[in-house]
Amino acid sequence: MLRSTALHVAVGAVSAGLLVLIFLTALLGKPSSALNLSPTFVYVVFWLGLVPVQVLLGNVWPVLNPWLAFAGGFAWIWRRLGLEWTPPLVYPERLGVWPGAFLLLCFAALELAYAEPASPRALALAIALYSYAMWFGMAAYGRRTWDEHGNAFTVYFGLLARIAPLGERDGRLVLRTPFSGLGGVERTPGMLAFVAVMLGSVGFDGLSRAPFWQDLRAELEAPYIVDAPRTAELLGTGLALAGILGCVLAVALAYLGATAIAERMVRADRPLRADFLRSLVPIALVYAVAHYFTLLLVQGQYAWPLASDPFGYGWDLLGSVDYAPNIAPLSPNTVWYVQVGALVAGHVAGLAVAHDRAVSILPEREALRSQYAMLGLMVLYTVGGLWLLSRG
């Protein structure tokens, strides 16, 4: 039943309809994030809400993917007309997921660097550009091929789904030990860059809230804020972009440094960076949990009244427009304990994944020595994550 074509078509149709609805609300609705559904849906319901779904239920994103649903519907109509479509281009293997990494970086820049990320009109433009990139790539290289390499959300949610206790094997749904889906080697070109964007962008989100960063931005914008506000805005955006890229580069270099040390300690006859790369996925997950779970709990409640009036026109379609969210569901102490617990647990899980891979490819004593550097890397990421949380 879960793999039936009818269910996939029905869910895909709903997802495609939601994409159209959110685009129209962003384009035509009230230009206020407090009244318009699109910012809350994109940044909270979609970006954050699908994370626990993937981690608990496995990779359900291919069924929910609205861009793939539209392309599949178009392909079905094309076949019904008796026509055939052969993609004119062959996707270069060396390109890997570099397009997905670039588009994930663009999404992070929109959310964290742009001056008005919650502007419905800005979101409408972003949705239009992203949809064009998806459908153009699918037409050029094939639906599945482009989606699996060029769709940032497919790569992102697919990595998180490897943590889930539900997976797929030989066309069947299976139960498995959580995190075991992260086993094996990751040789896809661009995957290190993708994971570095996952970690580095969330790290910058914490960094950007630190007092020293706020002071630096204020000092940079101060000479222009009155006489040339546009210049001040551009300088602030440029500084944020530099910060995101710096955090992404720091994550990648720290990982490459740790794997280089591991290679020297065991005198490996091949690079090890592809073997331990997936051990960073649990860390990316807990960084997102630590930084955003309160946003999901609080702002997610606003999706219910906003769904009753998605355009902000004063409607009450679902009778929920007067719903009053609980803006303090957890105490500050509870939030801090959840954040710290998630960070520590995620880094322990990452180290366990790396150790599991080490003992499967190296002799026992060398496997142990290879993990000293990985342990140091995990401690570095843990301390860095806790510091960013405390500064924010």
Instruction: Please give the structure tokens belonging to residue 392.
Output: 């924010």
Please answer whether residues 165 and 179 qualify as being in contact, where contact means their C-beta atoms are separated by less than 8 angstroms.
no
Q: What is the DSSP letter of 45?
A: I
Distances in whole angstroms, Cα of residue 57 to Cα of each of 280, 299, 314, 366: 20, 23, 36, 36
CA 112 to chain centroid, in Å, comes to 13
* Distance from C-alpha of 133 to C-alpha of 95, rounded to nearest angstrom: 16
H helix runs in 58-190, sequence order: 61-64, 66-80, 98-112, 120-141, 143-150, 152-161
What integer pLDDT is reported at residue 130 of this predicted model? 98
* C-alpha neighbours within 13 Å on the C-beta side of residue 216: 13
Task: Please identify which residue in the block is written with the tokens 């040339």.
Answer: 228
Mean pLDDT value of segment 253-272: 88
pLDDT at 366 over 90: no
Say which amino acid occupies 49: G
What integer pLDDT is reported at residue 251 of this predicted model? 94
* Distance from C-alpha of 97 to C-alpha of 142, rounded to nearest angstrom: 15
* Distance from C-alpha of 219 to C-alpha of 7, rounded to nearest angstrom: 55
Task: Please identify which residue in the block is written with the tokens 């962003």.
Answer: 26
CB count in 10 Å sphere of residue 126? 20
* Distance from C-alpha of 311 to C-alpha of 301, rounded to nearest angstrom: 17
Three-state secondary-structure class, residue 208: coil
Instruction: Please give the structure tokens belonging to residue 159.
Output: 């990595």
Instruction: Please give the structure tokens belonging to residue 347.
Output: 């880094």
Mean pLDDT value of segment 317-325: 91
Mean pLDDT value of segment 15-38: 96
What integer pLDDT is reported at residue 134 of this predicted model? 97
pLDDT tens across 150-169, in order? 999 999 999 999 999 998 88
Q: What is the DSSP letter of 114?
A: S
* Distance from C-alpha of 325 to C-alpha of 32, rounded to nearest angstrom: 19
What integer pLDDT is reported at residue 242 of this predicted model? 96
pLDDT at 392 over 70: no
Task: Please identify which residue in the block is written with the tokens 């090890």.
Answer: 272
Range with top average pLDDT, 182-196, 201-215, 316-330, 368-382: 182-196
pLDDT at 315 over 70: yes
| 353-359 LR contacts (CB < 8 Å, sep 24+) | 353/179, 353/182, 353/183, 353/278, 353/279, 353/281, 353/282, 354/276, 354/279, 356/183, 357/183, 357/184, 357/185, 357/275, 357/276, 357/278, 357/279, 358/275, 358/276
What does residue 169 show for φ and ψ, rounded to 5 degrees? Answer: -145, 120
Instruction: Please give the structure tokens belonging to residue 338.
Output: 């959840």
pLDDT tens across 192-225, in order? 999 999 999 999 998 898 888 999 999 999 998 8
| 3-state DSSP of 70-87 | HHHHHHHHHHHCCCCCCC
pLDDT at 248 over 70: yes
pLDDT tens across 83-138, in order? 888 899 999 999 999 999 999 999 999 999 999 999 999 999 999 999 999 999 99
What integer pLDDT is reported at residue 327 of this predicted model? 86
Give Cβ neighbours of residue 120 (< 8 Å, ≥ 6 apart).
25, 26, 27, 29, 30, 31, 32, 33, 36, 38, 39
What integer pLDDT is reported at residue 386 of this predicted model? 82
Mean pLDDT value of segment 296-301: 94
* Least-confidence region, from 264-278, 322-336, 378-392: 378-392
